[in-house]
């Protein structure tokens, strides 16, 4: 199975926007992994970017304020 990196920006915004990520085989699996870790029944996912894991990738989200 080929895994991909799934990155959500704007995840569960409160005072600032959050960030969530998962390495998984498909988007459904990625969401399940994040939901299990997060523990809330309802999630505001935000924007999704999917990265293939066949080359280096860097990503950041700066802090708010």
Instruction: Look at residue 13 and tell me if it is in a domain.
Output: yes
Confidence of residue 65 (pLDDT cuts 50, 70, 90): low
Confirm whether 63 is domain-assigned: no
Residue 14 lies in a domain: yes
Can you spell out the DSSP letters for 14-27?
A: SSS-EEEEEEESSH
d(CA 13, CA 4): 24
Number of domains in the chain: 1
Domain membership flag for residue 59: no
Domain that holds residue 45: 4-52
For range 1-29, the mean pLDDT:
93
Domain assignment of residue 37, yes or no? yes
Higher-pLDDT residue of 63 and 6 is 6
Span 17-56, pLDDT tens digits: 899 999 999 999 999 999 999 988 789 999 999 999 999 9
16 vs 21, more confident: 21
Q: Taking the model in full, what pTM does it have?
A: 0.88
């Amino acid at each position: 199975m080929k895994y991909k990196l799934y990155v959500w920006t704007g995840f569960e915004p409160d005072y600032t926007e959050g960030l969530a990520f998962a390495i998984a085989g498909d988007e459904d699996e990625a969401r399940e992994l994040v939901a299990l870790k997060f523990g809330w029944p309802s999630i505001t996912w935000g924007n999704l970017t999917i990265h293939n894991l066949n080359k280096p990738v860097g990503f950041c989200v700066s802090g708010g304020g």
